[in-house]
Homo-oligomer: A and B are copies of this chain.
Amino acid sequence: MPPSPSVAAGTHVDAVPTPALIVDERRLHANLDRAQAYADAHGVTLRPHAKTHKSPALAREQIERGAVGICVAKLGEAETFAAAGIDDLVMANTTVGEGNARRAARLAGRVRFAIGADHPQQLRELSAAATAEGVDLRVRIEVDTGAGRGGQPPEAVPALAALARELPGLRLEGLYTYEGYTYDAADAAALRERHLAAQRTLTNVVERVESSFEAPPVVSMGSTPSLAAEVPLLPGITEIRPGTSIFFDAAQAALAGGLEQCAAHVLATVVSRVGPRAILDAGSKSLTTDTRAAGVCATRGHGVLLETGGVVARLSEEHGVVEGDDADGLSVGQRVRIVPNHVCPVVNLFERLIVVRDGRVVRVLPVATRGRVD
């Protein structure tokens, strides 16, 4: 099948076919430095979540700056990064089924790999697979500190930790939580309080299960919200896994210091004007329909236009519609830069990240784990 039109290094950004996902190299480097500095300042290990960038090249840049390794969400992502030479991986997510447990055990035979668990059945399957493959498989127990998603509530964790300790082939490495729900806090101060509460919940659980660990446990938080809002990290937290902070996005801009912190945008073209409407060639297939309804990260519309400060008011698959005052001055053929509401699933829609410096393409990075939902 023919690929998208090629974009060589040196190409002026005005000649890149739209829609395209553009990364501003200077802001990218600033965001990479900021994450490492935050981790260093709080004495914790940085393990960035690669779900945001999906790029082995960017994972290497994170590791070169001091990250211990990367975090992934799926076995397919772990397999892809391992094949690309990233040799320290944690899957901050759970899986079930014999086939998947085997994949996890095989990964542990090739690279340093740890996987999440929040249910006895998962642990038993992982134990059986690790035993069959003849490996020690590191596991981390997921603790629900308020997300209401995966992870067990604190009171259920000791039994799980004891089971992980007891089952052959498993090595209980630590605990982790995902506190992305703190984004819904009304303001930065409230987010700080919620984040500290999540940290306390997690460290309290650690105290209850310390006897299950052979070595000092890894105690791991999300944690772009804390990084963006400069929330302090309590003693006992040993690792953070920020993902979005490599780019930031429109939802996080208010927390992170403004739209000028956002390193990624969708480059689009005004394909038509119809009365008060400007029609863009970027729709939900480029921007997703993700919104954030309330709180400090609430968004309006479906992405912010850097040219006008307006928003994409409506989306269909291939079209974004800018209306009324927000469309003032936009003319047919004009290019606009849209900071998406939520950058992670936007990266997942594109084949490539086009890295730009001073208006010219410097690198084109494949989105290596796009579609690795398995």
The residue of chain B having its C-beta at the shortest distance from the C-beta of A318 within the complex is B73
Question: Provided the pairs A118-B274, A122-B271, A281-B95 are in contact, do residues A51 and B17 lie with their beta carbons within 8 angstroms?
Answer: no
Task: Decide if A19 touches B374 in the complex (CB within 8 Å).
Answer: yes
Known: A2-B83, A350-B371. A73 touches B149 (CB 8 A): no
Give A153 to B281 CA distance when docked, in angstroms.
19
Give the docked Cα–Cα distance between A370 and B4 (Å). 11
Residue A131 CB within 8 A of the other chain: no
B274 and A284 contact, CB distance less than 8 A: no
Query: What is the size, in residues, of chain A's interface with B at 8 Å between Cβ atoms?
Result: 77
Bound Cα distance from A121 to B333, whole angstroms: 8
Inter-chain CA distance A99–B317, complex, in Å, is 22
Contact status A349-B332, CB under 8 Å = no
Do B344 and A371 touch (CB < 8 A)? no
Instruction: For chain A, residues 279 to 296, give those with C-beta under 8 angstroms from any C-beta of chain B.
Output: 279, 281-282, 284-286, 288-291
Residue from B103, B275, B285, B345 in contact with A285 in the complex, judged by beta carbons closer than 8 Å: B345
Interface flag for A109 (CB, 8 Å)? no
Q: In the docked arrangement, what's the CA distance between A15 and B272, Å?
A: 48
Q: Are B332 and A121 in contact, with the CB atoms below 8 A?
A: yes
Query: In residues 347-374 of chain A, which contact B (Cβ within 8 Å)?
Result: 348-351, 366, 368-374
A99 to B186, CA, bound (A): 46
Contact mask for chain A residues 247-276; partner B; CB cutoff 8 A; 1 contact, 0 none: 000000000000000000000011111110
Query: Cβ of A18 < 8 Å from any Cβ of B?
Result: yes
A180 → B minimal CB distance (Å): 7
A180 contacts across to B, CB distance below 8 A? 316
A83 to B1 alpha-carbon distance, docked (Å): 7
Q: How far is the CA of A285 from the CA of B350 in the complex (A)?
A: 13
The 0/1 profile, CB within 8 Å of B marked 1, for residues 48-83 of chain A is 000100000000000000000000011010011001
A277 pairs with B148, CB closer than 8 A: yes
Minimum Cβ distance to chain B for residue A101 (Å): 11
Looking at the assembled complex, report how far the CB atom of A51 sits from the nearest CB atom of chain B, in whole angstroms.
7
Asked if A317 meets B51 with Cβ closer than 8 Å, knowing A118-B274, A372-B4, the reply is: yes
Q: Whose C-beta in chain B lies nearest to the C-beta of A350?
A: B371
A1 and B57 CA atoms in complex are apart in Å by 13
A152 part of interface (Cβ distance < 8 Å): yes
A288 to B151 alpha-carbon distance, docked (Å):
23
Tell me whether B2 and A152 are in contact (CB under 8 A).
no
Task: Please measure, in the bound complex, the distance between the C-alpha atom of A359 and the C-alpha atom of B83, giving whole angstroms.
Answer: 33
Query: How far, in angstroms, from A79 to B3 measured CA to CA in the complex?
Result: 9
Output the nearest chain B residue to A51 by Cβ-Cβ distance. Answer: B317
Residues of B within 8 A of A51 (CB): 317
Q: Nearest 3 CB-CB pairs, A to B?
A: A17-B374, A119-B272, A96-B271
Given A96-B270, A96-B333, A149-B319, 19 further pairs, Cβ under 8 A = A1-B83, A1-B84, A4-B76, A15-B99, A18-B374, A19-B373, A20-B374, A73-B317, A95-B281, A121-B332, A148-B277, A153-B275, A284-B290, A286-B373, A288-B289, A289-B290, A348-B349, A349-B349, A350-B373
Interface residues of A (CB under 8 A from B): 1-2, 4-5, 15, 17-20, 51, 73-74, 76, 79-80, 83-84, 93-97, 99-100, 103, 118-119, 121-122, 144, 148-153, 180, 269-275, 277, 279, 281-282, 284-286, 288-291, 314, 316-319, 321, 332-333, 344-345, 348-351, 366, 368-374
- 21 sampled A-B residue pairs with Cβ under 8 A: A1-B83, A1-B84, A1-B369, A4-B374, A19-B374, A20-B374, A51-B317, A73-B318, A74-B318, A122-B332, A148-B277, A149-B277, A149-B314, A149-B316, A149-B321, A152-B274, A285-B348, A288-B289, A289-B290, A349-B371, A349-B373
